[in-house]
Structure 1
Amino acid sequence: MMNTLSLQRVAFAAVLALGAIAVTPPQTSRELAQSAPAATMMPMSGMQMGSGMMGSAKTPAERAMLEAMKSGMGHPAQMGGTGAMAWSGNPDLDYVTMALHHANVSLAIAKVELTYGKDPAARAIAESTIAEQTARIEKLKAIVATLHH
């Protein structure tokens, strides 16, 4: 029960963190970058995922979940490892890039659930998440390719 609760808390924290991107009011990418709170622009390289609000990962499942979430720290379009978003100036490309990043993290977390999870309902959601996010990732990659031209 405790391990399931810990995984649920980690997954919930990931959803909250990644969901914050989706509810940001419409702005240009440059306005969004300039108005972002300092905490969102901080480098993540020095952070330890096993400490702070998420607590210490004690089990293989917890460590795997934190590693999956760690893949989502920062942003895929980082500049020189600074942790700051390399905004393209194209809101469409920036949105699709962030959505692709979110989908990849969601996919990684769902795979951890299938590896370690036992609850049939949670596993069913993970299976549908994998199918949905895999399809979404392919669509987003195709859109990114068209936006780079």
Structure 2
Amino acid sequence: MSKKVFTNEEVEMLRNNPYTYAVTPHILSFTKEFKELFWKEYQEGEIPRQILEKHGYPADVLGKERIWGIAHTIKGQYYSEKGLREGSLKKNPSAGTPCATTEEAVRRLQGEVQYLRQEIEFLKKISSIKTTRK
């Protein structure tokens, strides 16, 4: 986590960006759409700072460490089994902070529904494998 803390004005500016999933004074989470876009441009040779600035995230607001962390996190998610996903992976989803806006609450709930649907499909596959074995 970056040591740079966002001011209230910076939080509001970041929250208004359509690629922002959630933002607090300490944490910035991105939408899956942005992560896919970031990864595509990164693979084409653009540097993280340029990609972020092109899509409305000023480098001076984010800070050098956070920019490096964003690139590292997106790369890690891309190569993980779960792939790119909305926001960040929480260890305990019920322990989240209250949403600042209803739009954030809706986004968070949509992400949770999508995750649960994927989990159900996975369980169905496991169940069908167990029942078809002889």
Q: TM-score range by the shorter chain?
A: 0.3 to 0.5
User: If each structure's strand is expressed as a fraction of its own residues, which one has the higher value?
Assistant: 2
User: If each structure's helix is expressed as a fraction of its own residues, which one has the higher value?
Assistant: 1
Structure whose CA Rg is larger: 2
Give the alignment's TM-score, normalised by structure 2. 0.38
